[in-house]
């Protein structure tokens, strides 16, 4: 894999507020998944899942943005351990504030590249995964940077359990096209039986700020569910 071909954009935005800086300094170290970075785990040894999840199912959200959906799901599923991955510092700071205010204890975090995490997650350890409004990389020459390429989907397939669901939400029609083309190649089946299955959100869905922006700008959300083949 070309490790310099990032599927995400900028890493930091506007200046953080003092409370956000405190959360990054004091809360994130306690919630961070250990031994993910290559510096801390150069041998890429698998994570200790018993220590990470304490026997609970593991759900993974790749690129959680402002964290609204992740907090919503974690509050609704207290018997699940969630791992949220986000390289954007401002998004991580926003999520940490939400976790603190909600008093949630079932979320672990990785500030960085999802590929590094997938390197060290044990095979078939993830029971559900979410890819919600990922960076669309709209220019044709950048489509290879999208997450829905084999470089990313094959490792994701490896860490997901047989029968586990992968949810993808996007408002970009060409992203839908690429997802429907590439995700099945990586070992997933699309579950849709009719238009309502991709036009209507999931029953437990919480609309994110990115979706609200898409709706304001006249773009149509698509909700795709895939199941990992054995």
Choose the catalytic residue: 30, 135, 189, 203: 135
Q: What is the mean pLDDT of the chain?
A: 93
Interatomic CA distance for residues 127 and 125, integer angstroms = 7
Q: Which region among 6-20, 78-92, 203-217 has the lowest average model confidence (pLDDT)?
A: 6-20
Size of the chain, expressed as the number of residues it contains: 230
Contact 34, 112 (CB under 8 A): no
Interatomic CA distance for residues 180 and 172, integer angstroms = 13
Contact 156, 123 (CB under 8 A): no
Q: Which domains does the chain have, with CATH numbers?
A: 18-228 (3.40.50.150)
pLDDT value, residue 145: 85
Handedness of CA 132, 133, 134, 140 (dihedral sign): positive
Q: Is there a catalytic annotation at residue 197?
A: no
Helices (H), 103-208: 114-120, 150-159, 173-182, 196-199
Q: Residue 3 — pLDDT band, cuts 50, 70, 90?
A: very low
Q: Is 112 helix (H, G, I), strand (E, B) or coil?
A: coil
pLDDT value, residue 138: 80
pLDDT tops 90 at residue 5: no
pTM above 0.85, yes or no: yes
pLDDT value, residue 1: 39
């Amino acid at each position: 894999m070309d490790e310099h071909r990032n599927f995400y954009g900028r890493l930091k935005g506007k200046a953080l507020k003092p409370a956000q800086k405190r959360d990054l300094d004091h809360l994130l170290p306690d919630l961070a998944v250990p031994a993910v970075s290559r510096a801390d785990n150069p041998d890429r040894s698998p994570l200790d899942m018993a220590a990470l999840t304490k026997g609970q199912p593991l759900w993974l959200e790749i690129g959680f943005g402002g964290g609204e959906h992740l907090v919503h799901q974690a509050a609704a599923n207290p018997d699940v351990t969630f791992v949220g991955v986000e390289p954007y510092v401002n998004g991580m700071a926003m999520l940490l504030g939400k976790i603190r205010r909600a008093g949630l204890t079932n979320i672990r975090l990785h500030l960085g590249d999802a590929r590094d995490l997938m390197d060290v997650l044990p095979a078939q350890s993830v029971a559900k995964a979410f890819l919600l409004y990922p960076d669309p990389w709209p220019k044709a020459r950048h489509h290879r940077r999208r997450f829905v390429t084999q470089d990313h989907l094959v490792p994701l397939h490896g860490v997901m359990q047989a029968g586990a669901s992968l949810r993808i939400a996007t408002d970009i029609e060409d992203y839908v096209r690429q997802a429907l083309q590439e995700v099945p190649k990586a070992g997933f089946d699309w579950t849709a039986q009719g238009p309502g299955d991709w036009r209507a959100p999931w029953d437990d869905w919480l609309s994110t700020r990115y979706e609200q922006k898409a709706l304001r700008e006249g773009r149509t959300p698509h909700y795709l569910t895939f199941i990992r083949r054995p």
